[in-house]
Structure 1
Amino acid sequence: MREFSESYLSRTREGMWGDSRDALEPLALESRDRILDVGCGTGELSRVLAAESPGEVIGCDADPDLLAAAGEHVPVVAGDAFQLPFPDDTVDLVVCQALLINLPEPAAALTEFARVSTDLVAAVEPDNAAVEIDSSVDAEGALERRARRAYLDGVNTDVALGDDAREAFDAAGLEVLETRRYDHVRTVEPPYSDGALTAARRKATGDGLADDRATLLAGALTEGEYDDLRGSWREMGRDVIEQMRDRDYRRTERVPFYVTVGRVPKS
């Protein structure tokens, strides 16, 4: 399983759900007594669950640093998604967000989720192959698509799981009740946040792309193609910074997420 920093999780999940939580309706949060958020990270989803449900929400993650952040909002427990530290039938809902896409065997994790749930299991997973970018820098969208294709080719888990999560649910013996789409839209515009300025600098230096170098080269991308991509990426980053100086830079990223809900079979 890939590991992520607290700053990365906060940046990529910032603003998710906001005031639009219709896609979570099938979870029947208002009727839940005890909810387990597996792979809770810094607790962004845990806070939403706690706000929507009168029951107890517990966060679970393998990373102690992330748990420390999540623990400021909900009770937390250290644990592995494939071997949860709970007895059978502990909660009435197990949910995860952007977790299955990072696991080599998502169905095995869902089977473990079903073990500790008396009722529902839900997964909120993105389709990273369908991300849409609209940028005031003409080259940015095309370069991001090019990098994404190479990343998807080299990564060893299904980061485009999205709507196809129902296949893993079926394999885990869960009855799929519903799948709903939710688009997480992130916008960069003046006044620019510190995070947006840092991201622009990392584009101009190529550091952001370099972080994924090993994955990009694990697929069909050659060293020469990577160097060409990084050179174009840095040039694009300089254009981003120039537009930011003039307060002209605008960027919208739309990431489709799919909320898949399954029922645990009665024994």
Structure 2
Amino acid sequence: MRRFTAEYLEQTRRGMWEDSQAALAALRLDEAKTVLDVGAGTGELTRILRENSPGQVLSLDADRSLLSQTETPRLLGDATRLPVADSVVEVVVCQALLVNLPTPAAALDEFVRVAQSRVGAIEPDNSAVTVESTVPAEPALMASARRRYLCGVQTDPTFGDGRELFEHAGLDAITVQRYDHHQSIEPPYSDTAFEAVRRKATGAGLKTRRETMLAGNTTAEQFDQLREAWRAMGRTAVEQMRNQEYCYSETVPFYVTVGHV
């Protein structure tokens, strides 16, 4: 499974579900007595589940350091070998988990095993991310970096709609709802925004993806060329920030697939 830092999870999920939670309706959280959030990470989804469910919400993750940042009750465990008995949890759900697993079907089979009623998966289609920026070169550079990175990962980054996988797992009454996660940078700038643009100017953010890109079809020379162009783009963004002119928006489509046991 691909591993992520707490900072990455907090940054990429910031603001998610704050604008609308309509896509979660099929989970029927308001009547759930028990909910299990699998691959909870630092608990971004867990908090939303607890706000909407009157019952007990448990967070589960295989990474002890990430799990320690969530509130109890919590469980340490693997998504493909859940430390939970059969049919004891009313709702089992995950967010951006199956997309990062080499065998998502194995995890979904475990969800079905422990679920009493409903199973949900909230998964992105990373190939359909859109970017707008006041720096003309940024959208194309972001798209190029994303393509090169996705080519090097060992999982399916375009997972998105999980209907077919849910059908193969034997789930019924399957529904799929799309939720677009929007993130933006605009004046007045937050400290987080300043740091994000600084990392573009230094190339630090791109450097963390070098190994994965080289595992795909990107050569070291191509990566260096991309990084130089990336840093130049970042310097332009910094200059625009100084003049209160920089604006950036990114939209990641997520698909909420829900099925009944």
Q: 1:202 aligns with which of 199, 210, 220?
A: 199
Q: Is the 8 A contact 2:100 2:156 kept in 1?
A: yes
Partner of 2:260: 263
Residue 214 of structure 1: how far off its partner (Å): 1.2
- Is 1:149 aligned with 2:147? yes
Alignment of 1:44-193 (within 5 A): 44-71=44-71, 74-163=72-161, 165-175=162-172, 177-193=174-190
- One-letter code of the match for 1:37? D
Q: Report Cα offsets for 1:204-246 as digits up to 9, x if no partner.
A: 1111111111111112222221111111001001111111111
RMSD, matched Cα: 1.1
Question: Which moved further from structure 2: 165-174 or 43-52?
Answer: 165-174
Q: Report Cα offsets for 1:85-140 as digits up to 9, x if no partner.
A: 11111101100000011100001100001111011110000001000000011100
In the superposition, the TM-score normalised over structure 1's length comes to 0.95
Aligned length: 261
Q: Report Cα offsets for 1:137-181 as digits up to 9, x if no partner.
A: 110000000111111111110111012x22222232223510000
Partner of 1:28: 28
Q: Is the 8 A contact 1:108 1:172 kept in 2?
A: no
SS at match of 1:145: helix
SS at match of 2:246: coil
Runs of 4+ in 1 over 6 A off after TM superposition: none
Q: Report Cα offsets for 1:48-73 as digits up to 9, x if no partner.
A: 111111111000011122112112xx
Gaps of 5+ in 1: none
Cα 1:24/1:225, change in 2 over 3 Å: same
SS at match of 2:164: helix
In the superposition, the TM-score normalised over structure 2's length comes to 0.97
Identity %: 55
Q: Is the 8 A contact 1:166 1:176 kept in 2?
A: no
> 2: distance between equivalents of 1:175 and 1:228?
49
Partner of 1:15: 15
